[in-house]
Structure 1
Amino acid sequence: MNEHSDPERSAPRTSTHSLVVEAIENRILSGELGVGDALPPERQLAEQLGVSRAAAREAIRVLESHGVLESHVGSGTRAGTFIAATPTVALSRFLKLHVALNNFALEEVVQTRLILEVESAAMAARRGDPEVLHRMGEELAVMDRQDIGREEFGDADTRFHVALARGGGNRLFADMTQAIRESLRAPLLEGYRAHLDWDGLRDLLQEQHRSLLEAVAAGNSEQAAELAREHIRTSYRALPGLCSDEQELITGAGAPGAGDTGQE
């Protein structure tokens, strides 16, 4: 570094709205604010923190994008800005952007999905939530329609797998599963469109969906986990150009004993 460098220029500057974000986060972390609580009006918040209304407004927008705040216009008790609980929105936006920027390779995202869904399937089978089974059955029926298009099939497929993840009872697993599926929506749809035998692929995926639902309904956690593992691998093996490192996907994440060398 040049000895004549200006330390003021080289030091990172914290924007005013970032300080407002930090102040609101601290109120949440301290327990002063919880889900459903209202923030002070924009003008009052700005005065409390000694910042401009523009800085307060920008901080609110940032936290809305993070799924921490939600704003309602109008009048009455529901008008204003409130502490929210919508992490899925933030996770989905974050993951979609970073996949698009190639900060996460598709193979890494798919491997993460494999690990999450295999465990979720086993957990869902152990819990046997009737509402979850009903929702999975509904989405299965949607995908069974002969006139269904690729995009509609993909969206119903996502809802089926998110319902499965919710059936495991771990909200973070479910939110991450939805975020991963949404981040993969475009490449999956592209793979569906490029597949030369769409009807055959759809029938194969539906056969696997049906077997997976039956295993979960029967409470067979080991079978459900294995079926989930094979279903995800089948999907990505079949879709052209989705994952470049097919062998790693097939033999790596989610495989029993993955990482073992086979040597004593």
Structure 2
Amino acid sequence: MPADPNTKPERIDTPIVRQKLSDQVFERLWDMVQSGELAPGDAMPSERALMERFNVGRPAVREALQSMANKGLISITHGERSRVNKLTAGIAFDQMDDIAKLLLSTEPSNLEHLKQLRKILEAGTTQLAAERCTPDDISVLRALIEDQRSKLGQDKAFIEADIAFHVAIAKISGNPLIQAVTQAMLSWLFEYYKPLLLWTGRENTTLLEHDRMVDFLETHDVSGAMKMMGDHLSRSDPLYKVT
């Protein structure tokens, strides 16, 4: 039987959720940033000005500002007015940091997935870097290798220098998203770095491979650089594992 055109459709009501005042203030501030009313580098209005503008108390304003800071949207400095940050890919990935680390710790197989992702990403990154690197880029990379060499025997400092080297290659790609993803990915992997004490000479091997990689980049040898990076990452895979 056809539906009666005069019959009104059944309405499904959803509960109305009462928002916290601080959440409402946050949304207003978010709109001000999105609209450009508050631009990167601008000082945020004073707490009193925001209280008067939104007709709320100081606790709601302070909680909203703290939420803005937690999301990397503003910087809060004691004794000074908060300022709006320039949004970057790095800020976006920082917001994922705790969740990504939790994902890795609760599901160990994700570490292998992350190492696979690293190989895919850094292969493409190395290709771009080999095509685009300049003499200045090569100088930066060689200086980073020397800095890493100075940290031989210092596991934490050595791997931090290793990360800096790989992030520098990502920077040469000219793509800030690649650089931000690489930085985040390597910082997550760092949590699982386990030196193999019986593998003598591993640090010197790393330095030799870095040197060779820069040689390939300097001569814009794309295939040589990509193969070197692939071999380098395959060799270092066992250093990252769940205990």
Q: CA deviation at 1:83?
A: 1.2
Q: Note closer, same or farther for the CA distance 1:129–1:14 as it changes in structure 2 (3 Å cut).
A: farther
Where 1:67 maps in the other structure, the secondary structure is coil
Alignment equivalent of 2:132, drawn from 119, 127, 131: 127
Where 1:80 maps in the other structure, the secondary structure is coil
RMSD of Structure 2 on Structure 1 (CA): 2.7
- Structure 1, unmatched stretches of 5+, are 1-6, 244-264
Tell me how many residue pairs correspond in the alignment. 227
Q: Residues 128-147 of structure 1: CA distance to partner in whole angstroms, max 9, x if unpaired?
A: 13443222212211222374
Q: Note closer, same or farther for the CA distance 1:201–1:147 as it changes in structure 2 (3 Å cut).
A: closer
Are the aligned partners of 2:23 and 2:64 in contact in 1 as well (CA < 8 Å)? yes
Are the aligned partners of 1:215 and 1:223 in contact in 2 as well (CA < 8 Å)? yes
Where 1:72 maps in the other structure, the secondary structure is coil
1:122, 1:51 → 2: CA distance? 54
Where 2:76 maps in the other structure, the secondary structure is strand
Q: CA deviation at 1:33?
A: 2.4
Q: Note closer, same or farther for the CA distance 1:176–1:80 as it changes in structure 2 (3 Å cut).
A: same
1:146, 1:31 → 2: CA distance? 45
2:18, 2:159 → 1: CA distance? 44
Are the aligned partners of 2:170 and 2:178 in contact in 1 as well (CA < 8 Å)? yes
Is the counterpart of residue 80 in structure 1 residue 81 in structure 2? yes
Are the aligned partners of 1:99 and 1:106 in contact in 2 as well (CA < 8 Å)? no
2:20, 2:112 → 1: CA distance? 36
1:139, 1:199 → 2: CA distance? 22
Q: Note closer, same or farther for the CA distance 1:200–1:14 as it changes in structure 2 (3 Å cut).
A: farther
Q: Which moved more, 1:34-43 or 1:160-169?
A: 34-43
Where 1:40 maps in the other structure, the secondary structure is coil
TM-score normalised by structure 2 residue count? 0.80
1:158, 1:240 → 2: CA distance? 13
Alignment match, 1:94: 96
Larger radius of gyration: 2
Superposed, 1:159-238 pairs within 5 Å as 159-188=164-193, 191-192=194-195, 195-236=196-237, 238=238
Where 1:187 maps in the other structure, the secondary structure is coil
Alignment match, 1:257: none
Are the aligned partners of 2:76 and 2:82 in contact in 1 as well (CA < 8 Å)? yes
Is the counterpart of residue 63 in structure 1 residue 68 in structure 2? yes
Alignment equivalent of 2:42, drawn from 37, 44, 66: 37
Q: Residues 84-133 of structure 1: CA distance to partner in whole angstroms, max 9, x if unpaired?
A: 13642552352244323446722233233223222221112222134432
Alignment equivalent of 1:25, drawn from 27, 30, 37: 30
Alignment match, 1:153: 158
Q: State percent identity of aligned pairs.
A: 26
Are the aligned partners of 2:44 and 2:84 in contact in 1 as well (CA < 8 Å)? yes
2:30, 2:70 → 1: CA distance? 14
TM-score normalised by structure 1 residue count? 0.74
Alignment match, 1:241: 241
1:96, 1:218 → 2: CA distance? 40
Q: Note closer, same or farther for the CA distance 1:233–1:26 as it changes in structure 2 (3 Å cut).
A: farther
Q: CA deviation at 1:150?
A: 0.8
